[in-house]
Amino acid sequence: MEEWTLNQVQGDVLRVPSAVLFLIAAVKDKSMTDEQLIGLARSAAAKAYAPYSNFQVGCAVQSVDGDVVTGANMENACYRLGICAEQSALTAAQHQFGLDRIARIAVAGGTDATVCTPCGGCRQTILEAAQLSGRDVEILCGSGDGSAIERHTIAALIPFGFGPANLRGTD
């Protein structure tokens, strides 16, 4: 499977030095294929800091306008301080275009044919963005070796989820 880099999708890449390890790419082409978005997630995974688990995960978040941001997991010797790739990319998305503008997300990790899906905590965070946007956000989940892609929605991955919609009108 061909690896896609941010430079192949759009010429200008803004590299932001940060502990969150994210890249921001201005991608205005709304017709980005699933394979290209997963490719960006795989490229982000290559930049992960995972010396303890050796399980590198990358995430690409695409806005309704076609902008894309990426993030990677970052582990820490104090394990609970680690950051998931999805959290990293969603933080970048909030800064770049806002959580309410998220159209779809791609996540990929590992090195074999096992499809990588968001963990429970990341599903909860994606649900928050979905409820803010009023869209059932699509999530593309890819294997590390590029052999498999699954398509899900956040509603399918976290049925009966609790989010901002549950708190409206509780004042």
The CATH number of the domain holding residue 74 is 3.40.140.10
Please report whether residue 167 resides in a domain: no
Q: What is the number of structural domains in the chain?
A: 1
Please report whether residue 68 resides in a domain: yes
Please report whether residue 170 resides in a domain: no
Residue 170's pLDDT band (cuts 50, 70, 90)? low
Please report whether residue 139 resides in a domain: yes
Please report whether residue 1 resides in a domain: no
What value does the mean pLDDT of the chain take?
85
Is the Cβ–Cβ distance between 97 and 67 less than 8 Å?
A: yes
Is the Cβ–Cβ distance between 115 and 139 less than 8 Å?
A: no
With residues binned 3-state (H G I as helix, E B as strand, rest as coil), the percentages for the chain, rounded to 5, are 35, 25, 45
Please report whether residue 169 resides in a domain: no
Q: Which domain holds residue 113?
A: 6-159
Q: Which residues are catalytic?
A: 86
- Tens of pLDDT, residue by residue over 60-101, are 999 999 999 999 999 999 999 999 999 999 999 999 999 999
Please report whether residue 145 resides in a domain: yes
Closest CA to 139 of 113, 107, 102, 165: 107
Please report whether residue 166 resides in a domain: no
- Tens of pLDDT, residue by residue over 54-69, are 999 999 999 999 999 9
